[in-house]
Structure 1
Amino acid sequence: MWREKKMTAKQNIDLQRNPTLDPFPDSVRMRGMYSAHGDKGFFTECTTGIRFPVATEKAYRELANAYNTTPHGQKESLLVLLEGSLQLDPTMDDDGDNGTGKLVVTRFLNIFPGQDCRGDHRRMSLYNTTWKLMEIDGKPVTLADDQEEPYVILDIKGNRMHGFSGCNRFFGTYLIKGEIFVFNKMAATRMACMKGLSLEDAFLDAMRKTESYRLQDGILELRDRNERILARLKAAK
């Protein structure tokens, strides 16, 4: 029969958490938040919260392509699942929390847009959000009491979009790659309306001219190739 026995250490032992991680050459599964700043990628591991620069080798291209083609705000981090190893590299810039350590992605597994490390969905995201038009060409949008607000919704599946432009319903596709944002294959119904035609023309024209965007604090800015703001939209609550 086993009996419980109390053990007492002869010396006091002080355990402290190492603020960095030791390199490990073996590839292990990791879950964390990935973001890109210019030509540099960074991975913040969910369990430890430590941030690593990502080496541009092996499966890095798959990770970067998934990030660039998934709708997100500028410099927004996205939850990813990957396999990788932590290696020392004195040539790496000390941009992470682990000195000269770099994360080498050996296999990209999946990306989870709109989620954080806890798996919770974020309140506001570029996709699957109703973006209501609030300003066009620098002027606030004014509507009659019974007039529906123009809006656009970017569906995450198939990069499809749809919305209401002031008189007609419209639909089409969109492309997002980094800061590039364009609407494609736009079409609309052809209803005759007493109200909203001028606003509709301005809204659809702004969408056709859109080539980039900014997303901050629940406001989506559509911009042209010269970074001029064409329209501002707010996320519906």
Structure 2
Amino acid sequence: MVGHRVWIMTFILLSVLGCTGPRTTAVPASNPQERTPVLGRLPATFSGDFPCADCPGIRYQLTLHPDHAFFLSLTYLERNSRFDSIGSWIVSPDGQRLVLYDESVSPDQFRIIDPNNLRKLGIDGHDIATGLNYTLTRANDVESPESHLALRGMYRYVADAGSFSECLTGRRWPVMQQADNASLEQTYVKFRKQPNDELLATVEGRVVTKSGADGATPHPMLIVDRFLGLWPGETCGARLATSTLENTYWKLTRLAGMPVIVPEQQREPAMVLHQEQHRLAGSGGCNRLMGEYRLDRRLVSFSQVAGTKMACRAGMEQEEHFIEALGRTAAWTVIGEHLELFDAEGKQLARFEARALR
């Protein structure tokens, strides 16, 4: 029970401290280099060593690109451990803060001191009250280290060549035919309905710079070190967009870590949480669903969830698991246009994608 309370309190803290206002859609730059009003010439790398509770320091290396993509590397000194991430950046409307959006619930934020210096802000978006160093300084050269990344993107395989369009940055890379690429390719061929279909894939991989087969100018390519999953019916969602929990049509895309497959001539499993009466309405795929919900910041619970009594040839077991998952739900989070539901221990029960209300 103590573990349950600790996990639930973590969600409450994220709710209280992680509110940074609505995301602002940025217009990507089309030029390979660009001078921005507050950040100066891009691309640029900013670096610095930040304090660490149990190590000599954490080396931050942040590279910003004109198309609003960023690459961030965190190296824990004397531990030989490094964590890489990728995402999109924007500048706040007042021009004072740099905001980094990745797959985290709360974005990293930096105060733009001048085009050469960025100071890290707290999770609440305010200055960290300390005399320790939290400043990144522009480096003389643009650093492009080989990054080891957890990636989510739209994959397709056409004419014996695979390509991967990364969700957070919109960048598309050719996929090299090595490492675990064969698993990704074979699973895609199994699930696609048309030869040119794009399907959402999750992988662990590296973005490397390689010359083409014809010896052309080197360009970025993706090496898939580990294929994680393919998710038919799910997309990236709009870049830098976000949806609200309530009054949004949520299409069910994953259930207990497995992709949701919609049988032919059936409705897609989905739900809408109607704010005015705290009422749940939706479909399990075969039957209409209805119920009630109670919301307390990052905590949510469903009650009296029931459905009509139709019998369908397929999808009944999936519908039962959907209703069961709602009954076990204790917390939620929305990242971009995707909703995730969790049980009291923090295990993901279901994942949804926002669609136009229907």
TM-score normalized by structure 2?
Answer: 0.34
DSSP 3-state at the match of 2:353: strand
Matched, 1:203 2:294: no
Give unpaired runs (5+ residues) of structure 1.
1-35, 52-73, 77-93, 100-121
Matched, 1:153 2:301: no
* Alpha-carbon distance between aligned partners in 1 of 2:284 and 2:15, rounded to the nearest angstrom: 34
Name 1:231's counterpart in structure 2. 350
Name 1:194's counterpart in structure 2. 313
Match 1:177 to one of 282, 296, 300: 296
Counterpart of 2:349 in structure 1: which amino acid? L
DSSP 3-state at the match of 1:158: coil
Name 1:138's counterpart in structure 2. 257
* Alpha-carbon distance between aligned partners in 1 of 2:335 and 2:289, rounded to the nearest angstrom: 25
Cα 1:95–1:218, aligned 2, differ >3 Å: closer, same or farther? closer
Greater relative CO, 1 or 2 (CA 8 Å, sep 6+): 1
Counterpart of 2:326 in structure 1: which amino acid? M
Counterpart of 1:194 in structure 2: which amino acid? R
* Alpha-carbon distance between aligned partners in 2 of 1:195 and 1:146, rounded to the nearest angstrom: 10
Counterpart of 2:245 in structure 1: which amino acid? L
**Residues 68-120 of structure 1: per-residue CA shift (max 9 Å, x gap):** xxxxxx669xxxxxxxxxxxxxxxxx9747x9xxxxxxxxxxxxxxxxxxxxx
Deviation at 1:211, TM superposition (A): 0.5
Aligned length: 142
Deviation at 1:152, TM superposition (A): 0.5
DSSP 3-state at the match of 1:142: coil
Cα 1:138–1:186, aligned 2, differ >3 Å: closer, same or farther? same
Counterpart of 1:150 in structure 2: which amino acid? P
* Alpha-carbon distance between aligned partners in 1 of 2:339 and 2:250, rounded to the nearest angstrom: 8
Match 2:245 to one of 126, 129, 146: 126
Deviation at 1:186, TM superposition (A): 1.4
Counterpart of 1:197 in structure 2: which amino acid? M
Counterpart of 2:352 in structure 1: which amino acid? L
* Alpha-carbon distance between aligned partners in 1 of 2:19 and 2:318, rounded to the nearest angstrom: 42
Name 1:163's counterpart in structure 2. 282
In terms of Rg, which structure is larger? 1
* Alpha-carbon distance between aligned partners in 2 of 1:228 and 1:155, rounded to the nearest angstrom: 25
Deviation at 1:38, TM superposition (A): 6.4
DSSP 3-state at the match of 2:247: coil
* Alpha-carbon distance between aligned partners in 2 of 1:225 and 1:126, rounded to the nearest angstrom: 19
Counterpart of 2:275 in structure 1: which amino acid? I
* Alpha-carbon distance between aligned partners in 2 of 1:166 and 1:132, rounded to the nearest angstrom: 11
Cα 1:42–1:187, aligned 2, differ >3 Å: closer, same or farther? closer
DSSP 3-state at the match of 1:183: strand
Cα 1:154–1:192, aligned 2, differ >3 Å: closer, same or farther? same
Q: Indicate the RMSD between aligned Cα atoms, in angstroms.
A: 3.5
How many percent identity over aligned positions? Answer: 33
* Alpha-carbon distance between aligned partners in 1 of 2:337 and 2:355, rounded to the nearest angstrom: 9
TM-score normalized by structure 1?
Answer: 0.50
Deviation at 1:48, TM superposition (A): 8.0
